Amino acid sequence: METAKHPLLVYISHFQMGDYIAFAWLILLFFLFIFLAILLAKKRPGLAIIIVLLDLALLFGAPFFIKYYLDRSLRSHQLTLNHVQQLLFSQTLILQGSLANTSPKPFAWCRVSFMVVPKKEGELSRFLATLKPLHQTSISIQTPLSSTEVVPFETVIEPFRLDEETMEVITKAECY
């Protein structure tokens, strides 16, 4: 359970003003729809139940959309994996790439995650493969990254042998 809590705690600890405003709107809409359902409860109970159910769906679904939207607009970045090298006579995999800040704001901290998964066709199959990767690791970039700046990174995964015909490396970055 600790691994499931960690990304949420990292996200909450790096809240910015846009995050606070978006979640304040979400809470305001939640209570507004609950108030509307209470007003309609005596005259139209069926509609009130539908509003409450839609309100609960909004409350649990909107945080994912908020994070996705804010990551695309306020914390946009470009991650490139330039070189994947499996050493021939050892079980060592070397990954090299670069991370570019494409947002107008500087980043104080970034985490780059690497997952080795089986090669799959189709978007759903690839997503399901990321739920249980063959190997997973991440690195933290602690140096401040100003707007339009590019920082190179490198990581070594050992002991691991990559079979390029049946496996692929998927990268993901979170920057705050």
Q: Which DSSP string corresponds to 26-45?
A: HHHHHHHHHHHHHHHTTT-H
pLDDT at 4: 65
pLDDT at 25: 94
The answer to whether residues 137 and 116 touch, using CB atoms and an 8 Å cutoff, is no
Verdict on whether the full-model pTM lies above 0.85: no
pLDDT at 2: 52
pLDDT at 54: 94
The fold for domain 77-175 equals: Immunoglobulin-like (2.60.40)
The answer to whether residues 97 and 81 touch, using CB atoms and an 8 Å cutoff, is yes
Would you kindly state where each structural domain of the chain is located, as residue ranges?
Answer: 2-73, 77-175
pLDDT at 1: 42
Low-confidence ranges of the chain (pLDDT < 50): 1
